[in-house]
Amino acid sequence: MRTVLLTCAIAAAMMAVAATSAAAQDASAAATSGGMRARAGFTPDPIRVNIYSGGSIDASRLGGSCVGMIASAPDYEFTYTAGSFPLSFRVQSQGDTSLIINGPDGRWYCNDDAQGLNPILTWGRPPSGSYDIWVGAVGEAASATLLITESN
């Protein structure tokens, strides 16, 4: 009986830690590098945003392929009205970066090293809504450029 209770207590503690870590990312917080609204067919394409990667929270707590250190608030918020174009988010940096996006559906999307040390996330048929974007640092934080494009 003690073993069962101890196992349940450990499981409850682990679930509490998981819930806290996911809540550490606040997609509703003001983005530290700003944001914008755009409709399909936007210009200029790509949109370029200067960002400094990193933060104090380990993105692996979000699960899946999420890696790197990120802040609690998003770096950038992109609110998009979709059309018939694909939508891609890319990061260019001399440092090793990751890309974490909380999509319009509330799900977390992550990528690391899609093109060398630079991450890319693409929606072939993107939904309309807000994309909350974090640029993570895998190792040392670094200056980075977030590119948002409808071109592949």
Scored b (16 or more CB within 10 A) or e, 78-99 reads bebebeebebbbbbbbebbbbb
| pLDDT grade for 72, boundaries at 50, 70 and 90 | very high
If you average pLDDT over residues 107-118, what whole number do you get?
Answer: 95
- Render pLDDT for 97-112 as a digit per residue (tens, 0 to 9): 999 999 999 999 999 9
Q: Is the pLDDT of residue 12 over 90?
A: no
If you average pLDDT over residues 2-27, what whole number do you get?
Answer: 41
- Which tokens in the block code for residue 132? 């909350």
Scored b (16 or more CB within 10 A) or e, 6-37 reads eeeeeeeeeeeeeeebeebbebeeebbbebee
Q: Is the pLDDT of residue 27 over 90?
A: no
pLDDT at position 118, please? 96
pLDDT at position 15, please? 31
Give the range among 2-11, 39-48, 75-84, 124-133 with minimum mean pLDDT: 2-11
Q: Is the pLDDT of residue 149 over 80?
A: yes
Using alpha carbons only, give the angle 110, 114, 115 rounded to the nearest 5 degrees.
145
Give the range among 18-27, 40-49, 95-104 with minimum mean pLDDT: 18-27
Q: Is the pLDDT of residue 69 over 70?
A: yes
- Which tokens in the block code for residue 98? 């990751």
Calculate what percentage of the chain has a pLDDT beyond 90.
80
If you average pLDDT over residues 54-73, what whole number do you get?
Answer: 95
